[in-house]
Amino acid sequence: LEEELRQSHKLEAVGRLAGGIAHDFNNLLTVVLGNLELIRCGAATGADAEELLAGTERAAKQAAELTKQMLGFARRQPLRTASVDLNQLVRDSLVLLRRTIDARIVVRFEPAPHLRPVAADPVQLQQVLMNLCLNARDAMPEGGTLTVGTADADPTDGPEGKRFVRLSVSDTGVGMTDEVRAKIFDPFFTTKGVGQGTGLGLAVVYGVATAHGGSVEVSSTPGAGSRFDVYLPRGAVSDDDRTPTRAEGATDFP
């Protein structure tokens, strides 16, 4: 029964995926065709026509972006697994991410001192971290604290005896209701406005985590903030291979 439920959920998600794309894409095409028609029949001239053309271009670009993301999502990228020092990956990514995050948001990193390497695709991990951090940013329009942390830790109901490494991203933002939380991993589910969100970020996070044999846990309180824990299997290495990370505490990224 459990397997059947899983399958029907999967089919439902695929259906929504197709329906969502068709719907969004069709809306954008309506804008493009409508604007072109107005210009062609001479209803809009001069500055009005310029404006319509600009709007047409925006809609076409958005449609291109939509298909690009959809293709990236559908194309299950093969994992190029390597032994990854998650602390280093987070540090490098946060330096870049900081630039796209409002100065009113404090960006903090709390690395585990002797983190084990994970067996993972570094490019896909970077994508996961980026998606989670940008969601955290969007959840704090008035500012707050975005904290990324790493730890040697297992998922709550994970398989016995397997060891994982945890990547956590938490924010002090708007949080989510239970109703929203139940849908966040569905492709194309978004509460952000038109042209703001694609609803693919967390679907990708979930896809990448499970492709690695890992999982994602979420906890959130409306008005207080959210926390995402991504569990990744540690690399098959001996204890001697523990990443020789510098013994350093929490770091803020100014």
Binding residues for ligand ADP, rule: CB under 6 A, are 131, 135-136, 139, 171, 173-176, 180, 184, 189-192, 197-203, 226
Q: Give the shortest CB-167-to-ligand ADP separation in angstroms.
A: 14
Q: Give the shortest CB-21-to-ligand ADP separation in angstroms.
A: 14
Q: Give the shortest CB-124-to-ligand ADP separation in angstroms.
A: 15
Q: Give the shortest CB-69-to-ligand ADP separation in angstroms.
A: 9
Does residue 208 contact residue 124 with C-beta atoms inside 8 Å? Answer: yes
Q: Give the shortest CB-135-to-ligand ADP separation in angstroms.
A: 3
Nearer of residues 98 and 181 to ligand ADP, judged by Cβ:
181
The rounded distance, in Å, linking the Cα atoms of 187 and 63 is: 17
Q: DSSP letters of the chain? A: -HHHHHHHHHHHHHHHHHHHHHHHHHHHHHHHHHHHHHHHTTSS-HHHHHHHHHHHHHHHHHHHHHHHHHHHHHS-PPP--EEE-HHHHHHHHHHHHGGGS-TTEEEEEE--TTPPPEEE-HHHHHHHHHHHHHHHHHT-TT-EEEEEEEEE---TTPPTT--EEEEEEEESS----HHHHTTTTSTT---SPTTT--S-HHHHHHHHHHHTT-EEEEEEETTTEEEEEEEEEBPS--GGGS--------EE--
Token couple for 166: 């945890």
Nearer of residues 117 and 187 to ligand ADP, judged by Cβ:
187
Q: Give the shortest CB-168-to-ligand ADP separation in angstroms.
A: 12
Q: Give the shortest CB-242-to-ligand ADP separation in angstroms.
A: 31
Nearer of residues 118 and 184 to ligand ADP, judged by Cβ:
184
Nearer of residues 102 and 241 to ligand ADP, judged by Cβ:
102
Partners of residue 119 on adjacent β-strands: 83
Nearer of residues 150 and 190 to ligand ADP, judged by Cβ:
190
Nearer of residues 24 and 85 to ligand ADP, judged by Cβ:
24
Nearer of residues 182 and 250 to ligand ADP, judged by Cβ:
182
Q: Which residue is nearest to ligand ADP (CB)?
A: 201
